[in-house]
Structure 1
Amino acid sequence: MSRYSLKPLPHRSDVFEVAVGWDPGLDTFFVMVFGVVEADHDPEVLHWLGGQPRQIATVEELEAEISPYAKLPMELGRHLRNDQRDGDAGPSQRLSRFISKLLIAAAR
């Protein structure tokens, strides 16, 4: 799994962090947008997508999803595509996807 932190857009003072990455087990990109941290509290999750299998299939879909909160640098887009490509290669990732499919099927 990869995870990268993006700086929020200047006008989004309500956003502390935009986290994006690739989850090979779920075969999806993900985005988590965290609100500004208040004293003695965990940051609030303002937006989260990518916790279900194949929910965000492409970097372009990910970019559209984060556009209200942050810009995706071109170089990071390339890294994410590489993460997707490389994450599918190993046996542990294939096993992880298989287990995820079993768990999803059992929950139905």
Structure 2
Amino acid sequence: MDFLFVLIVGLLVTSGAYLMMSGHLVRFLYGLALFSNAANLAIFVSGGLSYGAPALIAEGEKAPLEPVANALPQALVLTAIVIGFGLTVFALALAKRAFASEGTALMDDMRSAEPRAED
């Protein structure tokens, strides 16, 4: 089952890289979202899929009596989701501003910071 998740992560990373190199702002944002989802899935799978009970300790005990699920990958994925959302919103705002100032969403057609000879 883990091998299937590894293949899915590889597919997401490959698709995200392809979209990010296309030279279009909207495709770049989709590729960034795919990268973020691939990272979340990789973190979650690296923690192992376990079907343990919640990590609760009975009163008077020093450790759980039965196997428990690891909560660290879930906390890391939750943090990564929030950071990925913030990064996506920031990139979307930059893309909107770039489109408004340049009038195009194609990165090759955007002006560079240096003046061109034909300007």
Structure 1 or 2, whichever has the larger Rg, is 2
TM-score normalised by the chain length of structure 2: 0.29
Considering fraction of residues, name the structure with more helix. Answer: 2
